[in-house]
Chains A and B, each alone.
Chain A
């Protein structure tokens, strides 16, 4: 980061390659629009370039700091433009392995889920996306959102309850997967999302 603050473009490029897509994913999950997500990612990394000297490694990891910048930018954008789009899924997310009927069913399901996610209040959505999709630890998410861990857990619980309620009719009874065991703990801990575990 000192190198970026000193104007080293090679280190900056490495940082973009390491974190660029994760920031794009985050913004997309929050805003529901690929174009807006790319704008947010672009602005986030411009801020990294211009304000690299403000990052304090003892207070937050680089990933957490970048997510915080992106989070604030997303909030600004949502407040300016209340109409975040959710209709991109139909055109851009088609799975080529599915037949037409299955594709339609899958699209409907995804559309329902995306709509339910976008219907969540801004803070609930951010908390859920940061923990579930970005794979950030609770301390990191609490720091990004300026919350205590207890308040974060409360937000997360409310967001999950709201989603479960919105999608209740999609739930098919009897689908049960094997529970994780102590022996499988290491394997599970090895899995990671697009972000980092802190």
Chain B
């Protein structure tokens, strides 16, 4: 892979003179150009000055920051409803058994859903049967009435 002088300049403009900050896939080609081209070398030297300035800018050492971060109280977290359910089902001391319990609980879900769906279907089927029965009765009565009317006319 090779890169143009223009792209090399863009790299310097964006990432500075330090090759470790250049994009991984262009670094080798950029270094190759830098070795071979005096124009690239001039651009690189110019870009280097700003990097040096930035590197000189001091910052606090934050020596005690980690201690501060670790000594503060951690807030209680809102637990997921699944965890709350599991905690209710299992006391805290049996928590290590969760690795077995959770798959078992998960496996029970289709069973519970099957029972629920089956129960619902049973209710629906009861309703349907009753409705059909009442419709049948009404039709029979109408037929009988109509037949009765015809018989009177015939007589």
What residues of A have a CB within 8 angstroms of the CB of B77 in the complex? 7, 49-50
Number of A-B residue pairs with CB-CB distance less than 8 Å in the complex they form: 136
Closest 7 CB pairs of A and B: A157-B13, A156-B14, A153-B14, A93-B58, A24-B62, A20-B66, A21-B62
Interface residues of B in 66-95 (CB under 8 A from A): 66, 68-70, 72, 74-75, 77
What residues of A have a CB within 8 angstroms of the CB of B56 in the complex? 109-110, 113
Chain A, interface residues (CB within 8 Å), range = 35 or more
What residues of B have a CB within 8 angstroms of the CB of A21 in the complex? 62, 65-66
What residues of B have a CB within 8 angstroms of the CB of A24 in the complex? 60, 62, 65
Q: Is A160 a contact of B14 with CB atoms below 8 Å?
A: yes
User: Is A167 interfacial (CB-CB < 8 Å)?
Assistant: yes
Q: Please report the total number of B residues contacting A with Cβ < 8 Å.
A: 41
Give Cα A20 to B31, complex, Å. Answer: 34
Q: Is B58 a contact of A131 with CB atoms below 8 Å?
A: no
List residues of A whose CB falls within 8 A of some B CB. Answer: 7, 9, 12-13, 16-17, 20-21, 24-25, 28-29, 34, 37-38, 41-42, 45-46, 49-50, 89, 92-93, 95, 109-110, 113-114, 117, 128, 131-133, 135, 137-138, 149, 152-154, 156-157, 160-161, 163-164, 167, 170-171, 175-177, 179-182, 185, 188-189, 191-192, 197
